[in-house]
Amino acid sequence: DQFEQKILTVLEERNGSIAMTSKSDADEIVKIFAMSKKSFKRALNSLKEKKVIDLNENGMSMKSV
């Protein structure tokens, strides 16, 4: 969806990783990803389930293809 695509676009712009998680500050999420924290968390979980990203306590990164 559009939120998943936005996360992937930001990751690509930042060389595949960013120090943001579902626990990140809502204002930071809006500033960087232009979406609500709820939408961000839903998209993150979806991308993780699809095995597109790796997510840990320090942030997220795109999986190698």
- pLDDT one-digit tens code per residue, 11-53: 999 999 999 999 999 999 999 999 999 999 999 999 999 999 9
- Continuous segment of H or E residues that includes residue 41: helix 37-49
CA 13 to CA 37: how far, in whole Å?
20
pLDDT value at position 65? Answer: 58
Per-domain boundaries in the chain: 2-62
pLDDT value at position 16? Answer: 96
2-62 to CATH, choices 3.30.930.10, 3.40.50.1820, 3.90.1150.10, 1.10.10.10: 1.10.10.10
State the helix-helix crossing angle for 26-33 and 37-49, rounded to 10 degrees: 70
Is the per-residue pLDDT at 63 higher than 70?
Answer: yes
Structure tokens at 30: 């809006």
**% helix, strand, coil for the chain, step of 5:** 50, 15, 35
